[in-house]
Amino acid sequence: MKFLFLLYVPPAIRDDMDARAGLEAWFAYGRSLTDAGVHLGNNALEGTETATTVRVRDGETLITDGPFAETKEMLGGYYLVDLPSREEAIAWAARVPNAPYGSIEVRPVL
């Protein structure tokens, strides 16, 4: 079953994310996913100031600068993994390096 881990961090520490977790922690986490054979992909995302939200209402395209949701945290990146259960996904998500100071949303992929 595929899961997406959405990595949220407070914007104030977004640029400091690698320093806080330690760059090696990110590399080690990626290697552990690959070694377990569950890693399908990942990327960091540019800041919310680069986001554009597109909606189509009544045939009109509405474009808004900024992220879809106004939150105190920003979406900083993601991991796409293939794991046998939600419980294993949660266990892997708890090991993401920014989990101690951010949050990880675990979402099954259809």
pLDDT digits over 82-106, tens only? 999 999 999 999 999 988 888 999 9
pLDDT digits over 37-67, tens only? 999 999 988 888 888 888 899 999 999 888 7
Q: HEC profile for 14-69?
A: HCCHHHHHCHHHHHHHHHHHHHCCCEEEEEECCCHHHCEEEEEECCEEEEEECCCC
User: pLDDT at residue 2 above 70?
Assistant: yes
Prediction pTM value? 0.83
